[in-house]
Amino acid sequence: MDKLKLRIEKFNSTIKEKLEEFQYNFYHLKFSEPVSENEINEVQDFFEIPIPEELKILYKELGSIKNEAGESYAVEIEPVPYLLEKLKEENKWYKCHSLGLIDYIKFSWVNDRPEFNGVEQSKIEHLNNHYKCFGLYRFNWGLEEAYYLYFDKNQKFGWVRYHQDCFDDLWAEHLDGMLESSPANKNFEDLMISVVDQLEVGILQNG
């Protein structure tokens, strides 16, 4: 995890140098409290497929990776206690029904994405069972779009882009192919470093 920690330190240093203080406070990336082995074991039951070792290390060493941007140039790699809380939530609008990719996409939209209701249940189940989501990031479309970060049964990582007005593109660009085979080909550190790289460029150009 050292490469990622160094990249985040450099990111925070660069945007602090280039932005006003209020902007820096908005975008800079923070960690949370590391979690225990017991908490990881508990969330493992909800992931259902083995959590990759790199993601476990993140949880144990850094807890999570987030900023306060919320809409554009935002990162939400959620801490384990938050995931567990939402997985046990009783309110149907705020409950994370599973850490499967489709369920997590719907969760990030307050479980209100009716376009998924017309999809064959077997396809939804396949995508939920084979791809597990642990967070997202947003670039420059605000709350209209997000990149969902996932891992597969081979312990590889990838992302899926979904814009609220482009449901057909979601399937054409990502999900149709994912029903056949997994496109995930990155390890966790490389995935997250590429995310930080993209955010830095976007923030410095448009933040």
Label residue 88 exposed, middle or buried (CB < 10 Å: 0-12, 13-18, 19+).
exposed
Count of beta carbons in the 10 Å neighbourhood of residue 62: 20
- pLDDT over 90 (residue 70): no
Q: Give dist(CA 45, CA 97) in Å, integer.
A: 13
CATH number at residue 126: 3.40.1580.10
Q: Give dist(CA 137, CA 64) in Å, integer.
A: 13
Spell out the residues 6+ positions from residue 67 whose beta carbon is closer than 8 angstroms to its own.
26, 27, 28, 29, 30, 73, 74, 75
Query: Which whole number is the average pLDDT over 44-61?
Result: 97
Per-residue pLDDT band for 206 (boundaries 50, 70, 90) equals: confident
In contact, 165 and 29? CB cutoff 8 Å: no
Q: Give dist(CA 136, CA 162) in Å, integer.
A: 11
Exposure pattern of 75-85 as b/e (b: 16+ CB <10 Å)? bbbbbbbebbe
Give me the domain span that covers residue 64: 2-206
Residue 146 is classified by DSSP as E
User: DSSP per residue over 42-109, as a string?
Assistant: HHHHHH-SPPPHHHHHHHHHT--EE-S--SSSEEEE--HHHHHHHHS--STTT----SBHHHHHHHHT
What pLDDT is attached to residue 204?
A: 94
- Cα 48 versus chain centre, distance: 17
Per-residue pLDDT band for 207 (boundaries 50, 70, 90) equals: low
pTM: 0.95
In contact, 69 and 139? CB cutoff 8 Å: no
Digit-coded pLDDT (tens) for 2-38: 999 999 999 999 999 999 998 999 999 999 999 999 9
Q: Which two tokens stand for residue 64?
A: 């999570």
Q: What is the total count of domains within the chain?
A: 1
Q: Give dist(CA 140, CA 67) in Å, integer.
A: 15
Pairing of strands 65-66, 131-138: unpaired
